[in-house]
Structure formats: C-alpha cells, structure tokens
Structure 1
Amino acid sequence: MLTKKGLKEFCADARENYLPHISIDCVVFGFHEGIMKVLVLKVQNEDEWYLPGGFMLKNEPIEKAANRILKERTTLDKIFLQQFHVFGDPERSKEHFDMYKDMLPAKENWFANRFLTIGYYALVDFFETSPNPDQFAESCQWRGLDDLPDFKLDHALILKTALDTLRLQLNYQPIGYNLMPKEFTMPELQKLYEAILDKKLDRRNFQRRMLGFGILTRSDEPRKGGAHKAPYLYSFDLENYEAALREGFKGGW
C-alpha cells in the first residue's frame, strides 16, 4: 500500500503520462516437472498477490504497451503475448479506490477511474526465463495451478479466463512450441497437454493424433540411457507448426 505522499506522486505521474480507463494484465504460463505454472507478483510489505499488469502510455500502441509492462514488472523481454479478453466489470477497481479514498480527493485519485483491462497470455520456456520483481513487488515467482495465492481485484477471474482460452485453443491449434524444450519425448508432450486440460489422455490416441497433425519431427535415435526401450525424441516442425496456427485443425480432447 502506498503512503499518502507516494500515492500523490503516483497519481500525478499517472494523470500526466498514462491513458485513463484502460489497463493491461498478463498471464504468463510455464511448464515445469509436469506442472503448469503461472507467474505472480507479491506486493512489498503486504500479503497481496497480482498478475503482472500496468497502464498504457497516452500515445502507445496496445501491443507495445503489453510487452513494456511485462518487461517492467518481471524483466521478461521479447515474449510473444496473445490478447484473449477484455474485462470491464464496473466494480473491478473499487477495491483499489476504497484502499486510497481517504488519502486524496476523488478528482486527484487515479484509482477513482473505471478501468477496462485487456488480458494477454504468454507461453514461455520455464528454463529460458529468469523473472525478477520491480520496485513495487518483493517477489516475482512461479506458482503451480494447484498452489495459487489469493489474488486481489479480479485477477483470479483473469487467470481462469486465460486458462479456459488455452484449453479451447487445444481443440483447433497446436500448443507446445513455446513451452517445451527443443527436443522432448511423446510422454513429456502428453504430460503438457494433460496439465493444461487437467485430465488424463489415452497414450495411443494422443500419439496418433499428434503425429497426424504433421507438426512433429522424430529423431533417428531414441533418448540415450534409462530404460531398455528408450522413447524417441521429437521436435516441432516450425514451418508446419506455424501453418497449423494460421489454418487450424479439427480436434477435441
């Protein structure tokens, strides 16, 4: 929570530089040890958790704003973000306004504005990211979908909607290129799909369908070491993968 002086400085800066009524919130998904994880922020000196988000500069394109905000809040840069929903409940900012209403007159309080927030989600390679908190947060960390904190505002709804969108996408577009390492086994890819869908999938049906999409390339040699029947390694055929993203395919898990 900001002090009265800090709030006054923040609101003055926001009125001068940022577009009122519009914000951006980002849901960043990663996959680690068979678990889907989400990047979350904890506010300094408070037990409050949020998704990475912020406000748009007055003359800033939306896509550029989303990338800038994610970099400022988490240090993650050059991440592909997908817009998925706009959240506009009239009461969604009321909690912030009530928190500061006694510190400043409403006309000076940035949080007196009604904010629509544009939701973006990202799929990233867990091992290729090193998130760090900004000056407003004391922690920036990955949390599993079964170990999420209590979010402030409507960030639980934003996360749920992003996850629902991701699950829907699995029915007509491939997922995995940004979440998996360069080479992986079919069981590892199946674990990703099961983690997203939160259900078990039949091994033979999964392999048949994934190979039928034509987006995977199998290596000539199986993974070395381990069991006698070591699984083969696969990688994504990027050209076919991108074609499937553009054209889609019929599916349903």
Structure 2
Amino acid sequence: MEHSLKEFFDRALKEVSLDCTVFGFHEGELKVLLLRWKGIDGWSLPGGHILLDESVDDAANRILTQRTGLDDVFLQQFYTFGNVNRYVYHPEKELLEKMETTFGKGFFDGIIFRRVVSIGYLALVEFDQVQPTPDWFTDECRWWSLADVPHLLFDHNEMIDRALKALRQRIRNQPVGINLLPEKFTMPELQRLYETILGRQFDRRNFQKLLMSYDILERLDEKRIGAANKSPYLYRFVKEKYERAAAEGVSFTM
C-alpha cells in the first residue's frame, strides 16, 4: 500500500486539493458523509489531490465514485478555501505525530502539511444508493446527521457551513430533489426535503401549487400504501423538464 500511495502523490498536484461535502436525505434528515482517519480518531470530509493529468471536475468525480460507489453524482464547486493557516484547526505537528504512529515515521515527508488551497465541491446523492467506502488514510466512512457533526479536522466544519449556504441558495433559484429523493416520492416527502434544507415550514397547498407550476413533476397512478396521511399519490421528476428548469432557473419564494 505504501508504494502505491507514494506513486499516487508523485502524480498529484501538491498545492491544490479538493474536498467534497456530500449531502444525502434520509428519514426526514439531511446527512453528510464523513471519514474517520486511522490512528487519530479524527473525522473529515472526503477529498484528495488532483492528478497532473486530470481536470478538477474529473478529480472530484473520481474521488466521489471511490467514496460512494456512484458514477453519476451531482457536483458543484461552491468555494475555494485558501486561508494561510488552514491547518490551525488541528495543530500540524500533533496531527503528523499521530499519523506517523499509524503509517510509519517519515511516510508523509513532502506529501502533506505544506500550504494547500482546497476547492470545495457540493455533492447531492440518493442516500440508499451510496456504498460508503474509506480511503487509504481512513478506517470508516459513514453518514452523520448535520446536528451531530463533531469537531472536524482542518477547516472542514466551515466547509459544511458554506456548502449548506450554497445549497440553500441553489434551492431558491433551481429545482432540487432529483439527486436526493428516490425515483418515486410523495409530495409530503418533497416538501419535507425543502423544509429541511431551508430550515422552515411551508403551507402544504401553496407548496404543491408552486412546485407543480415548474412543470417538472409527473403524478403517477400509484399511491404510497400505509402512509400516515391517507395514501398520498406518488410523483417523479420528468428529467428533461427538470434539466431545463435547472438551466433556465426558477423562483422559489414562499
């Protein structure tokens, strides 16, 4: 493993990396994917370096495929993190000593702990389709509810905060849901998604009227059997119309 990891970093840009805030929606909650690092019990967002022969977007897609098992992930650049002291959130020397205990002394010489600018990506995925997978540095990859996110390594708590703000801005100007909900869903489930992201509640009738006015939804001749609110109808997004609305923009004002 050491040999292949060294080779990887020989092929990577050393001063630029990327970090991905991966959001999923499950049981009425917005969740984020985190990794637990080996030997230090610290958590971070998925991320990594960009190879010399790939674009930034290709690197983000590669990393997300490796961490989630998905090939087609919605990705959006939302911020560039370039503070001079990005590692001040976790003392460099202390972190390096803990990692060398696990990987061996000198293993990280010339690889990390220099000034690195990170490009932040926002990813939206369907929760049940993700297969959380650790990387070289980590023992565990799993979902966390936003309310329970611990103190993360580096500036990754700030990354989540900024990613959530970017998602809230997006939902006001573009439709959201095709990457977060299953193929078939109820109107209450779609409304709960919007309410969770924006942190507020909406009138049921007004919400349905507004979302149907976008002409991106198809009501199916199927109902959610066993639901609490009298077996609501199922809906699905019409992909072509959804993509057109995303390109042209919508106005979510309630």
TM-score between both structures, scaled by the size of structure 2? 0.86
Question: Per-residue displacement from partner, 1:201-221 (whole Å, max 9, x unpaired)?
Answer: 221211111111111111134
Taking structure 1 as reference, are residues 109 and 10 closer, same or farther at Cα in structure 2, changes over 3 Å only? Answer: farther
AA of the residue aligned to 1:248: G
Cα shift at 1:97: 3.7
Residue 100 of structure 1 corresponds to 96
Taking structure 1 as reference, are residues 13 and 223 closer, same or farther at Cα in structure 2, changes over 3 Å only? Answer: closer
Residue 204 of structure 1 corresponds to 205
1:41 matched to 2:35? The reply is yes
Most deviating of 116-125 and 88-97: 88-97
User: Map of 1:210-221 to 2, 5 A cutoff?
Assistant: 210-221=211-222
User: Map of 1:23-34 to 2, 5 A cutoff?
Assistant: 23-34=17-28
Q: Which runs of 5+ in 2 are unaligned?
A: none
Taking structure 1 as reference, are residues 221 and 57 closer, same or farther at Cα in structure 2, changes over 3 Å only? Answer: closer
Following the alignment from structure 2 to structure 1, what is the Cα–Cα distance between the partners of residues 38 and 22?
21
Following the alignment from structure 1 to structure 2, what is the Cα–Cα distance between the partners of residues 86 and 248?
24
Cα shift at 1:251: 2.4
Following the alignment from structure 2 to structure 1, what is the Cα–Cα distance between the partners of residues 119 and 207?
34
Question: Per-residue displacement from partner, 1:166-202 (whole Å, max 9, x unpaired)?
Answer: 0011111000001111111111111111111122222
Residue 114 of structure 2 corresponds to 113
What percent identity do the matched residue pairs reach? 44
Following the alignment from structure 2 to structure 1, what is the Cα–Cα distance between the partners of residues 112 and 138?
19
Following the alignment from structure 2 to structure 1, what is the Cα–Cα distance between the partners of residues 4 and 110?
9
Residue 184 of structure 1 corresponds to 185
AA of the residue aligned to 2:209: R
1:59 matched to 2:37? The reply is no
Taking structure 1 as reference, are residues 233 and 47 closer, same or farther at Cα in structure 2, changes over 3 Å only? Answer: same
Cα shift at 1:119: 0.8
1:231 matched to 2:232? The reply is yes
Q: Which runs of 5+ in 1 are unaligned?
A: 1-5
SS of match in other structure, 1:93 = helix
Taking structure 1 as reference, are residues 23 and 10 closer, same or farther at Cα in structure 2, changes over 3 Å only? Answer: farther
8 A Cα contact 2:87 2:154, kept in partner: yes
1:83 matched to 2:46? The reply is no
AA of the residue aligned to 2:202: L
SS of match in other structure, 2:48 = strand
Cα shift at 1:135: 3.0
Cα shift at 1:78: 3.3
Following the alignment from structure 1 to structure 2, what is the Cα–Cα distance between the partners of residues 22 and 51?
16
Following the alignment from structure 1 to structure 2, what is the Cα–Cα distance between the partners of residues 73 and 226?
33
8 A Cα contact 1:80 1:123, kept in partner: yes
SS of match in other structure, 1:110 = coil
8 A Cα contact 1:40 1:143, kept in partner: yes
AA of the residue aligned to 1:69: I
AA of the residue aligned to 2:85: E
Residue 194 of structure 2 corresponds to 193
Residue 3 of structure 1 corresponds to none
SS of match in other structure, 1:204 = helix
Aligned counterpart in structure 2 of residue 50 of structure 1, from 22, 44, 47: 44
AA of the residue aligned to 1:129: V
Taking structure 1 as reference, are residues 16 and 189 closer, same or farther at Cα in structure 2, changes over 3 Å only? Answer: same
Most deviating of 214-223 and 115-124: 214-223
SS of match in other structure, 2:181 = coil
Residue 249 of structure 1 corresponds to 250
Following the alignment from structure 2 to structure 1, what is the Cα–Cα distance between the partners of residues 76 and 17?
15
User: Map of 1:111-150 to 2, 5 A cutoff?
Assistant: 111-150=112-151
8 A Cα contact 2:69 2:130, kept in partner: no
Taking structure 1 as reference, are residues 45 and 226 closer, same or farther at Cα in structure 2, changes over 3 Å only? Answer: same
Most deviating of 92-101 and 231-240: 92-101
